[in-house]
Amino acid sequence: MNTTSVYIAYTGGTIGMKPSRHGYVPQPGFMSSYLDSLPELKRPEIPHFIVHEYDELIDSANMTPEHWQQIADDIKKHYHNYDAFIILHGTDTMAYTASALSFMLENLAKPVIITGSQIPISGLRSDGLANLLNSLYLVAHYPIREVTLFFNNQLFRGNRSTKSHADGFDAFSSPNYPVLVEAGININVNYAALNVAPQGEFKVHNITPQPIGVVMLYPGISPDVIGNILQQPVNALILLTFGIGNAPNNPKILQLLHAAYQKGIIVLNLTQCFSGKVNMGGYATGNALEKVGVISGHDMTVEAALAKLHFLLSQPLSFEGVRQKMSRNLHGEISL
Residues in a beta bridge with 17: 26
For residues 248 and 241, what is the distance between their CA atoms, to the nearest angstrom? 9
Amino acid at 209: P
Terminal Cα-to-Cα distance of the chain (whole angstroms):
43
Q: How far is C-alpha 199 from the chain's CA centre?
A: 23
| Torsional class of 97: left (φ above 0), alpha (ψ -120 to 50), beta (otherwise) | alpha
Residues in a beta bridge with 237: 213, 267
The residue annotated as part of the active site, out of 11, 14, 93, 115, is 14
For residues 95 and 199, what is the distance between their CA atoms, to the nearest angstrom? 26
For residues 289 and 280, what is the distance between their CA atoms, to the nearest angstrom? 7
Q: Is 39 exposed, middle or buried (0-12, 13-18, 19+ CB in 10 A)?
A: exposed
Amino acid at 244: I
Does 301 qualify as catalytic in the annotation?
no
Amino acid at 289: L
Annotated binding site for substrate: 60, 91-92
The residue annotated as part of the active site, out of 3, 4, 11, 91, is 91
| Torsional class of 72: left (φ above 0), alpha (ψ -120 to 50), beta (otherwise) | alpha
Annotated binding site: 60, 91-92
Does 208 qualify as catalytic in the annotation?
no
Amino acid at 116: G
Whole-angstrom CA distances from 12 to 25, 144, 186, 208, 313 are 9, 24, 31, 22, 28
CB burial string 285-314: b at 16+ within 10 A, e below: bbebbeebbbbbbbbbbbbbbbbbbbbbbb
For residues 150 and 139, what is the distance between their CA atoms, to the nearest angstrom? 11
The 8-class DSSP code of residue 3 comes to -
- Which residues fall within 8 angstroms of residue 287, CB to CB, at 6 or more apart? 280, 281
The 8-class DSSP code of residue 183 comes to E
Catalytic residues: 14, 91
